[in-house]
């Protein structure tokens, strides 16, 4: 179905040139209508779903400078044509092909869905190998294989039972659910919101040899014993907890660790949306012991800032979008903050051109996506989505350079940042994801090839 649309591109008032104000073009392609409009089928004879994209640039290099087809453990071609978005009330994750905006799988990751947008799965993270991990706020962490060849024929019937469209199989029956572990939920002020939120894959230890397998998963949550937080480093292959890092003193009266990302060293950065509202870092390759806590904390730059979304840019700087108090960039090299007071938002991610894209908030004043220059921390663009997306929440970049915006009502928009034309997949249910949904954020901090 084609829908006529005309949008307006705008910028902030601070020194922005007038030539950015233009018409978006006329056609908006509505590509999906959810389960009713999807093809049926839930089993496959193996093989792979969806086309693949090179994880690098047009020169044919993948993450870390690995050439196509080389490396160990699938190091050449990576299943990077997907965006993974949570349907929070249903307890499911939608796998959408970013090239066609078609849903090619929906996976039940919650044994007993709560049918509440504030519970259930939310933040997703994609590894350099293409697999997805999701923090389930009902009390769990789950992994989905991106490739059917990696899924396990658990019932030995010679085929892989897995979803191939918008229809999920019952929990425990999809053979591409690699594992799910329980995470204890601590009661608090908002008892229904206590589960884990902050999650992120690490870079693989074998990156120098182009082996993208064997990565770990970070997850942070309010623990059930004390009024503070715990960070786990989980084996991505098995779901076994390798390292536990206590964060004593972090207030967890409300929701605790709220979102996460990693830097070039696989250190885990996350914000706390509770009392102190600070930025935390858990150290990769560190185990707590005498004289070593394995974590650091950095206070927010403005006491009025309410941190929400978090990402790491290509220069290893940490960005926080605040629902109030502006957007801030932290540079670990000098522990300095840069703040853009007039821009508030939710999810955010940097593209390959050094532009930080932020889902605008509050919705009663701005509905769309801010574009920020990552080096100067100034606004350079605004994509107005007011007529189309009433509740912009998540932002992720795909490997074609498109900006994906998740609208919390029912849709995901794929926006060309140059032409401002977009396509929409409208088959989601209260999607509540604002994290590294495509894996681009992890690729963006991957060190370049040496030599």
Q: pLDDT in tens for each of the 451 residues of the chain?
A: 223 233 333 333 333 332 222 222 333 333 333 333 333 333 333 333 333 333 333 333 456 667 543 333 444 445 578 999 999 999 999 999 999 999 999 999 999 998 888 889 999 999 999 999 999 998 999 999 999 999 999 999 999 999 999 999 999 999 999 999 999 877 665 666 678 999 999 999 999 888 999 999 999 998 877 778 999 999 999 999 999 999 998 888 778 899 999 999 999 999 998 888 999 999 999 999 999 999 999 999 999 999 999 999 999 999 999 999 999 999 999 999 999 999 999 999 999 999 999 999 998 888 999 999 999 999 999 999 999 999 999 999 999 999 999 999 999 999 999 999 999 999 999 999 999 999 999 999 998 755 4
For the chain, how big is the Rg over CA atoms in Å?
20
CATH number, domain of 147, equals 2.130.10.10
- Whether 279 maps to a domain, the answer reads yes
* Parallel, antiparallel or unpaired: strands 9-10 and 378-384: antiparallel
State the Cα angle at 344 between 121 and 433, rounded to 5°.
15
Q: What is the dihedral of CA 93, 180, 202, 244, to 10 degrees?
A: 140
Query: Residue 337 and residue 350: Cα distance in Å, rounded?
Result: 18
Q: In terms of Cα–Cα distance, which of 77, 95, 86, 97 is closest to 176? A: 95
- Contacts of 28 by beta carbon, 8 Å cutoff, 6+ apart: 2, 3, 4, 5, 388, 421, 422, 423, 424
Res 439: pLDDT: 97
- Whether 421 maps to a domain, the answer reads yes
Token pair recorded at residue 332: 């670990």
- Whether 114 maps to a domain, the answer reads yes
Note whether 220 and 230 are within 8 A (CB). Answer: yes
- Phi, psi for residue 78 in degrees, rounded to 5: -125, 140
- Domain residue limits at 117: 2-444
Provide the number of structural domains found in the chain: 1
Query: Residue 34 and residue 40: Cα distance in Å, rounded?
Result: 12
- Contacts of 433 by beta carbon, 8 Å cutoff, 6+ apart: 84, 85, 86, 122, 123, 124, 347, 393, 394, 406
Res 25: pLDDT: 30
- Whether 161 maps to a domain, the answer reads yes
- Whether 35 maps to a domain, the answer reads yes
- Whether 450 maps to a domain, the answer reads no
- Whether 51 maps to a domain, the answer reads yes
Res 450: pLDDT: 55
Query: Residue 126 and residue 236: Cα distance in Å, rounded?
Result: 11
């Amino acid at each position: 179905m084609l829908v006529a649309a005309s949008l307006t591109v705008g910028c902030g008032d601070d020194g922005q040139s007038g030539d950015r104000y233009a018409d978006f073009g006329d056609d908006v392609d509505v590509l999906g209508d959810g389960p009713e409009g999807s093809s049926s089928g839930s089993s496959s004879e193996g093989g792979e779903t969806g086309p693949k994209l090179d994880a690098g640039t047009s020169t044919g290099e993948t993450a870390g400078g690995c050439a196509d087809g080389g490396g160990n453990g699938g190091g050449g071609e990576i299943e990077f044509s997907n965006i993974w978005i949570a349907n929070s009330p249903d307890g499911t994750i939608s796998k959408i092909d970013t090239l066609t905006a078609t849903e090619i799988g929906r996976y039940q990751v919650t044994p007993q869905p709560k049918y509440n947008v504030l519970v259930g799965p939310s933040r997703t993270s994609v590894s350099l190998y293409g697999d997805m991990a999701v923090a389930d706020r009902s009390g769990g962490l789950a992994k989905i294989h991106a490739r059917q060849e990696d899924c396990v024929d658990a019932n030995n019937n010679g085929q892989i039972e897995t979803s191939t469209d918008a229809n999920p199989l019952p929990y425990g029956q999809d053979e591409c659910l690699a594992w799910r572990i329980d995470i204890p939920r601590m009661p608090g002020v908002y008892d229904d919101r206590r589960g884990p939120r902050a999650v992120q894959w690490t870079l693989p230890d074998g990156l120098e040899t182009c082996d993208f397998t064997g990565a770990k998963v970070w997850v942070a949550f309010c623990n059930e014993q004390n009024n503070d937080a715990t960070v786990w480093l989980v084996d991505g292959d098995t779901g076994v907890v390798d390292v536990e890092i206590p964060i004593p003193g972090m207030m967890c009266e409300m929701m605790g660790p709220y979102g996460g990302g990693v830097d070039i060293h696989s250190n885990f950065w996350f914000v706390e949306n509770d009392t102190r509202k600070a930025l935390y870092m858990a150290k990769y390759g560190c185990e707590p012991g005498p004289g070593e806590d394995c974590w650091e904390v950095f206070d927010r730059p403005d006491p009025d800032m309410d941190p929400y979304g978090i990402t790491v840019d290509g220069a290893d700087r940490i960005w926080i979008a605040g629902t109030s108090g502006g957007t801030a960039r932290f540079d670990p090299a000098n522990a300095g903050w840069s703040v853009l007071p007039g821009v508030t938002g939710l999810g955010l991610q940097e593209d390959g051109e050094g532009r930080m894209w932020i889902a605008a908030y509050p919705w009663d004043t701005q509905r769309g996506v801010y574009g920020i220059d990552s080096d100067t921390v100034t606004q350079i663009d605004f994509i107005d989505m007011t007529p189309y997306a009433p509740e912009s929440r998540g932002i992720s970049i795909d490997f074609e350079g498109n900006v994906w915006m998740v609208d919390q009502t029912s849709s995901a928009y794929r926006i060309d940042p140059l032409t401002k034309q977009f396509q929409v997949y409208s088959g989601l249910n209260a999607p509540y994801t604002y994290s590294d949904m495509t894996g681009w954020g992890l690729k963006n901090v991957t060190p370049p090839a040496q030599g």
